[in-house]
């Protein structure tokens, strides 16, 4: 089993510790974990050149950094993304990476592999906003086609892990325990939910009349998704 973890921050704070707790509960001798840190492993900002969407992802000026992470995601059964809450949003450096993945949204060229993966998102805030950030990261995963996404978010009442009250740490440990059990039980069994199928079909309709982006249209045709084939079959 392989797992990719994208840390939306470069430091080891509360968010990192929660993700690590889940990682440790999932990891066994047969688990290979690939971890990336933003901004250390992050590409530069999207320049808005549209090369990835209109020509192909390899034409992105940041392709080398982006595709290294994508290759690791495609190999992994579990993909985790974490981010502390900054001004009620995910960190800017994480947003920079996910902007580069717009080409593989269901509305463009989603990867077949994504439709059977398990996603995990983790966020913390001192007070408010962690739920919103978790939802926002889960939304990115949904549009890549990931069917099963677990959200973990906590208001930790602190600016660093050491100051998180023991009562909250206890709740975090319990949640980490439960989520890792759920993730383990789903590995190899994740299937698209109705919402995924619904939006895939809308995108399929759109691609049937797509004469404005041939890279996308040819991709859907090449995968036979405009016929009877589906990415999860
Ligand atoms: C720039 C910045 C913005 C922040 N914005 C919020 C916020 O909108 N809501 C909140 O409750 N906490 C906010 N915080 C606090 C952090 O989200 C919180 O302490 C979090 O647990 C830090 O996670 P970390 O230890 O993984 O870095 C902010 C912190 C920073 C540095």
Encode pLDDT of 201-227 as tens digits: 999 999 999 999 999 999 999 999 999
Lining residues, ligand 1, CB within 6 Å: 9, 13-16, 84-88, 124-129, 156, 159-161
What pTM was estimated for this model as a whole? 0.97
* CATH of range 2-193; options 3.40.50.720, 3.40.190.10, 3.40.50.360, 3.40.50.12780: 3.40.50.360
Q: Quick check: 120 pLDDT over 90? A: yes
Ligand 1: nearest atom to the Cα of 85:
17
Gap between the Cα atoms of 216 and 150, Å rounded: 29
Mean pLDDT across the chain: 97
**Cβ(22)–Cβ(174) below 8 Å:** no
CA angle 178, 112, 98 (to 5 degrees): 70
Task: Spell out the residues 6+ positions from residue 62 whose beta carbon is closer than 8 angstroms to its own.
Answer: 43, 44, 46, 100
Mutation choice for ligand 1 from 5, 88, 126, CB with most ligand atoms inside 8 A: 126
Ligand 1: nearest atom to the Cα of 128:
11
* pLDDT tens digits along 142-197: 999 999 999 999 999 999 999 999 999 999 999 999 999 999 999 999 999 999 99
Gap between the Cα atoms of 127 and 154, Å rounded: 9
- pLDDT bracket for residue 233 (50, 70, 90): confident
- The CA 92 to ligand 1 mean position distance, Å, reads 13
**Cβ(2)–Cβ(32) below 8 Å:** yes
- The CA 41 to ligand 1 mean position distance, Å, reads 21
* pLDDT tens digits along 62-105: 999 999 999 999 999 999 999 999 999 999 999 999 999 999 99
pLDDT at 29: 65
Task: Give counts: helices (H), strands (E), the chain.
Answer: 8, 5
Gap between the Cα atoms of 162 and 202, Å rounded: 47
> CA quadruple 194, 195, 199, 202: dihedral positive or negative?
positive
* pLDDT tens digits along 106-117: 999 999 999 999
Mutation choice for ligand 1 from 7, 91, 125, CB with most ligand atoms inside 8 A: 125
For the residues 123-147, what does the mean pLDDT come to?
Answer: 98
pLDDT at 132: 98
Task: Spell out the residues 6+ positions from residue 71 whose beta carbon is closer than 8 angstroms to its own.
Answer: none
* Percent of the chain's residues with pLDDT above 70: 100
């Amino acid at each position: 089993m392989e797992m990719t973890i994208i840390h939306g921050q470069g430091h080891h704070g509360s968010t990192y510790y929660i993700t690590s707790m889940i990682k440790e509960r999932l990891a066994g001798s047969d688990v290979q974990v690939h971890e990336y840190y933003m901004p250390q492993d992050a590409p530069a900002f999207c320049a808005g050149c549209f090369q990835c969407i209109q020509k192909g992802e390899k034409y992105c000026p940041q392709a080398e950094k982006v595709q290294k992470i994508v290759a690791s995601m495609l190999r992994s059964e579990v993909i985790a993304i974490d981010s502390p809450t900054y001004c009620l949003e995910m960190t800017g450096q994480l947003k920079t990476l996910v902007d580069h993945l717009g080409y593989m949204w269901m509305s463009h060229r989603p990867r077949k592999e994504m439709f059977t993966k398990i996603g995990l998102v983790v966020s913390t805030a001192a007070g408010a906003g962690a739920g919103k950030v978790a939802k926002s990261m889960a939304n990115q995963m949904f549009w890549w086609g990931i069917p099963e996404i677990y959200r973990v978010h906590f208001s930790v009442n602190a600016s660093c892990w050491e100051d998180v009250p023991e009562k909250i740490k206890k709740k975090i440990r319990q949640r980490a325990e439960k989520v890792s059990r759920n993730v383990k039980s789903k590995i190899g069994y994740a299937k698209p939910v109705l919402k995924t199928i619904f939006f895939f079909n809308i995108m399929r309709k759109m691609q049937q009349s797509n004469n404005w982006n041939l890279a996308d249209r040819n991709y859907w045709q090449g995968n036979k998704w405009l016929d009877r084939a589906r990415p999860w079959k």
